Amino acid sequence: KTVDEKYYYSFEYVLTSPNYLSASFATISIGNGRYWPLIVGANERRWKIYRDQLKVVADSFRLLDI
């Protein structure tokens, strides 16, 4: 998405291992000469409960002009 002429890339992914599952949202942007990631996540058991709330946090990520 584009906000104030800045590009933001968001995606959802799941990390797995034999004993543990973790799901996350990542929002990434490049601004002020740097790479800015915001990653929010939860283990798979809690993901269904917190997914919508974490999506709001990931979508609210914005860069400031400094």
Confidence of residue 5 (pLDDT cuts 50, 70, 90): confident
The pLDDT assigned to 21 comes to 92
- Reply yes or no on whether the pLDDT at 66 is more than 80: no
**What pLDDT was estimated at residue 10?**
92
Edge-to-edge strands, sheet with 6-16: 2-3, 6-16, 21-31, 34-43
- Using DSSP's 3-state secondary structure scheme, residue 62 falls into coil
Six-digit token pair at 12?
């959802």
- Residue 65: what pLDDT? 74
Instruction: Write out pLDDT tens, residues 10-55.
Output: 999 999 999 999 999 999 998 878 889 999 999 988 998 999 999 9
State the pLDDT at residue 26.
93
- Give me the DSSP letters along 14-61: EEE-SS-EEEEEEEEEEETTEEEEEEEEEEHHHHHHHHHHHHHHHHT-
